[in-house]
Amino acid sequence: MTIQWFPGHMSKAKREVEEKLKLVDFVIELLDARAPLSSQNPMLQQALQNKSKMVVLMKKDLADPRTTEKWLTYFQEKNIPAIAVDVNDKADIKSVIQLAKELGQEKMKKLEKKGIKPRPSRAMIVGIPNVGKSTLINRLVNKKIAKTGDRPGITKHQLWIKVKKDFELLDTPGILWPKFEDQTVAHRLAAIGTIKDQLLSLQDIVAFVIRYMQEHYPDSLMERYQIDENMDDMWDIFVKIGKQRGALESGGNVNFDKVSDIVLRDLRTGRLGRITLETP
């Protein structure tokens, strides 16, 4: 299954991001802590490489904390300041503001040396759809400014937002890239809800998730569905989950689409435990 998804507004947003980079001092790149590398847009990396950047690993409360630590080390070894965030944790929000302030102050000192009058530093916030960008912005300014939702593609336009007196933030729409050369990346992003479910074969995505969990999180799979790591036949696995969770049609047959919905909902809400789908 080849996954491609590139609505017109995303192509326009990419051009606008590239144009607006000249207006900002640094970039705040949001990645999903459950798939940090897969959720990093390769289309934007070239445009961002000459800008100061900090990485925010979003949804750390859903990710494996041990693997999140490894990812933070991975970015820091590349000299990219990185922080993991639960948007409902006020201490995490303060840490984002502090790190952004430090990055902005470096830029302001350089401008002052050139004789340019001090001003609030300016940052652009970028990330793929459904990474939690709007929610983070609302937490940073402590009021509802950006629209939020649990589906990708909510933010359609760019918007300047003031974060206290510390810095100004340019919001941008979430942008995906046109084609996933690596289908494992596509499966990870689909599993965490980056791509609209209606565009996908959810049974394929769930089969990928179950195989990954059998290898990396067998205890979670056993605890939630009584699925053994040695169970090999995916048909049997779906049937077992379906019967256990009541995903049945008339006649008592298991509805595989319902099973797929159940497993993805369990994954995305943390009922399967704190799971990360890739390691550095």
One DSSP character per residue, 7-55 reads -HHHHHHHHHHHHHGGG-SEEEEEEETTSTTTTS-HHHHHHHTTSEEEE
Grade residue 154 by pLDDT with cuts at 50, 70 and 90.
very low
Q: Let me know whether 83 and 22 are in one domain.
A: yes
Classify residue 242: in a domain, yes or no: yes
Classify residue 220: in a domain, yes or no: yes
CATH number at residue 215: 1.10.1580.10
Classify residue 79: in a domain, yes or no: yes
Q: Let me know whether 12 and 60 are in one domain.
A: yes
Give this prediction's pTM.
Answer: 0.85
Q: Let me know whether 97 and 225 are in one domain.
A: no
pLDDT score at 144: 66
Q: Which residues contact 248 (CB under 8 A, 6 or more apart)?
A: 242, 254, 255
Q: Let me know whether 13 and 64 are in one domain.
A: yes
Name the range with the highest mean pLDDT among 98-107, 149-158, 161-170, 200-209. Answer: 200-209
Grade residue 152 by pLDDT with cuts at 50, 70 and 90.
very low
Digit-coded pLDDT (tens) for 237-255: 999 999 999 999 888 899 9
For residue 20, pLDDT over 90 is answered with: no
Of 156-160, 233-237, 259-263, give the lowest mean pLDDT range. Answer: 156-160
Q: Let me know whether 16 and 140 are in one domain.
A: yes
pLDDT mean over 116-140: 86
Classify residue 257: in a domain, yes or no: yes
What whole-number percentage of the chain has pLDDT above 90? 48
pLDDT score at 280: 93
Q: Let me know whether 93 and 151 are in one domain.
A: yes
Residue with tokens 């999140």: 68
pLDDT score at 153: 43
**183: part of which helix (H) or strand (E)?**
helix 183-191
pLDDT score at 159: 65
Grade residue 52 by pLDDT with cuts at 50, 70 and 90.
confident
Q: Let me know whether 33 and 148 are in one domain.
A: yes
Q: Let me know whether 18 and 107 are in one domain.
A: yes
Classify residue 180: in a domain, yes or no: no
Give the structural domain span for 45.
8-171
What the block records as the tokens of 148 is 């939020």
Of 37-46, 175-184, 251-260, give the lowest mean pLDDT range. Answer: 175-184
For residue 138, pLDDT over 80 is answered with: yes
Q: Let me know whether 155 and 210 are in one domain.
A: no
CATH number at residue 95: 3.40.50.300
Give the number of domains in the chain.
2
Q: Let me know whether 114 and 240 are in one domain.
A: no
Q: Let me know whether 46 and 105 are in one domain.
A: yes
Grade residue 148 by pLDDT with cuts at 50, 70 and 90.
very low
Digit-coded pLDDT (tens) for 86-114: 999 999 999 999 999 888 887 778 777 88
> Burial of 35 by CB count in 10 Å (0-12 exposed, 13-18 middle, 19+ buried)?
buried
Classify residue 188: in a domain, yes or no: no
Classify residue 280: in a domain, yes or no: no
For residue 225, pLDDT over 70 is answered with: yes
Classify residue 214: in a domain, yes or no: yes
For residue 166, pLDDT over 80 is answered with: no
* Residues paired with residue 227 on neighbouring β-strands, in sequence order: none
Q: How many residues does the chain have?
A: 280
pLDDT, mean over the chain? 85
